[in-house]
Structure 1
Amino acid sequence: MKRINFIILAVIVLVLTACGTNPKSTLDEYKEAVLNEDADKLIELLSDENVKVTKEEAVAHSKLVNEHYSEESLNRALEKIIQNIENIEGDSSHNLPGEFKTIMVVESVDGEVVLSVNREEVRAPLERAIFTYEFNGEELTVGDNENDHSVIDNLIPGIYRFEGMAEMNGIDFEMTVDVNFNEKDITRVTDDAVILNFAVDNDFKVENQKAFAGDEEITDLGNGNVGYGPIFPNNTNVYFTGEYEGQTVKTNVARLDSKEQGTRYVYVELSYDQNELTRIDRLISEQEETEKKKNYNISRSKSRITALYDTLEIAFKRNSREGQENILKDNFMNDNVTEKVLGYVDKHLDPENIPNIEIIKHELVEQNNDTSELKYNVEIEIQSENEQIVKEHHQVELQDSTGEGNFKVSDITFE
């Protein structure tokens, strides 16, 4: 009778044990699957109704755990979870921690131990590239030419490598995207190209700037915040040109060589030749001063023409030669009133019928570089007191006698 009771008790114990899941047994299975990179077993342990783990994800997950933990430290971490489950009455949830993120969640619910993982949206800095790669047996294409960061996939914690082809700015090249949940920035993009970022010293406000890599203009394809790519370093010259005060200027040249292959970003510091910009400033200043002096000289020369005809009108009223010369001489170089001018006065001399002179127009027809010598065509009307009007065309040549805009008549032709 006692033997029968013992058998019945043993059967009851076995039935009660089967109603729950031993946490140590489950976590030991997980540990062995991770250490042996048993993808099928990890899929069985980690999948649930919300997350169906793929083979590629299971492989990536085991790489993550093996990178973060040694076998000994993994044993310690799992033993701690087992102890916590056993020390807590009722349901509980525990994390297997990674460097920055939770690797796996262990839940004890109604005596059942369940392992689970969460998927996370992973974005990569593709820098406006379109990336095509294979994952889970499918060919996938992500990215576009408008956005700097693009979603690679929704992934469980792991270490992944995606190799494929990229297209950026019309150029095709090989690209690799590494995803490591043990890193703070979990994605890293590598390829044979580089993305250029420019820092251009532009204190002089150079306008209409254009960027060049080799002989190719890349201005319209670049982005001020991210840079331009892809560039394949092979003794490639990088520089800017621009316009300053109407002249084309150029920065120093930065050379990209093969040693920078494998570097994702290259920062290029460029500057315009300040001596050249200063020279242009000085030249512009001189040109402005020349233009200012030119305008001043023209204004002064027109005043001399007005004064010339005012004094000719007065000379028409003087009977004496001395009086005529005195009123006219200040208009002429070296105070020399020529016989040609005095003869013109004699022609219009008429004390009984004193004429008036009106300048209809004066047109500048010739000048030298510094506007110290000028030639005008002058049209006048002479009207006598009997209202007779005579039109005449003269040519007046002027010289700056002092270099300060003091113009005098050097020659005059009466037509």
Structure 2
Amino acid sequence: MRTSQPYQPGLRTHAGLALLALVYIFSYIDRQAIAVLIEPIKREFAVSDTAIGSLSGVAFAVLYAGLGVPIGKLADRANRRNIVALCCGLWSLATMACGVSAQFWQLFLARMGVAVGEAGGMAPSVSLIADMYPPQRRSLMLSVFMLGPNLGVLVGLAAGGWIAQTHGWRAAFLFFGAPGVVLALLVRLVVREPQRGAFELAPAARAASRPLRAQLSRLWSIRALRFLCLACASAGVASYGYGIWATTFLVRTYGVTLAQAGFVFGVTSGVGAIAGALFSGVLCDRLVAHDRRWQLALPMIGIALSIPAVLAFLLWPATGAWHAGALAVPHAMVFALLFSFFASWFPALSYAAASQLVNADERSTAASLVNLFLTLFGVGLGPLVTGVLSDRLTPLYGHDALRYALVGTMTILVATVAFYAAALNPYRQRLAAMHAAASQPA
């Protein structure tokens, strides 16, 4: 049993967390910037919603998901900080390459380059944070890290729309890609590689030395982790479909400009999601002290509450708005705010749950497995399915086709609630078994 700990979280630890969170913010800015650039890209290259769905989804998801697990496996044995720094520099350069693409196929390839880099960002970072903080603080600290998508949406959409409207869509990619190169250097210089399993009850077994296929098979046999992966997959389809197309939905439905849609949606969704992520992280750390199942029950409840909110946002009549000067804020944005607040509960709490279900030297692989499902199905299918549905429904509903395509995509959240519910008892049983095994004398 561990009798001492090599360090306690201090100023440098918190600075490392802040840098990792900043890297994740820019990864999402680079990833999501395309959401506010759909209309100008579509006009310049004369492509369909289906093609745009492929660009924003499949072009990214296949490589991101395919490389994420091997890189996660590598991160369970190699220096995680260096992997994050290298990958951050790579995806930032690829984002800038998007801005100089002269043909649609070149943009497609550049987006794949972004995916190659970002494949090595999430899982090593989750593993780092899990070893930087003790278990009773991980949900909150991972929630701070997971502010990345929320702040990325806020900045990417709000600033991206203005940059695209003022300087052109290519400039947005260049503006957002350049800071990542600097961040990569800062991560390499500032972030410390912590000892693996520093805060665990017992030393970790050397699971990372197993062949990848055998390790993945063993992880998949953990029932709680299996249901967690399926929950994240279904939530991802809805979340990414919504995130990529919601700005375009505002432009087409409410007739607002690209800059206005990006600002209104970015600020509304970003503020709601930031508040929701922090609230759920603090609440979860308190509730799990009484019952460990709250780690998965909270995201289940959040998703359940998000469903009526998002349907109200999508189906609300396109009339009525608040005005602040030239800016019009549709009344329906209240429901977008509520959706973002509740839907933001699931990512950080799910990754924290995955880190609790495995030994310290398997955390990157477990996180990458969850990320595989979230990305392959979410990024890969969410935007594409929504785009295909929009094209198919256009003859029936005209400019409202995207509205009903999004409604169809969001209904998959019902399955997400069911998968989280199925994971609750297996999760508690798994943690109890791990604790009993770690308590046995060597």
TM category (shorter chain) comes to: under 0.3
Whichever of the two has the greater Rg, that structure is 1
Q: Which has the higher strand share?
A: 1
| TM-score normalised per structure 2 | 0.17
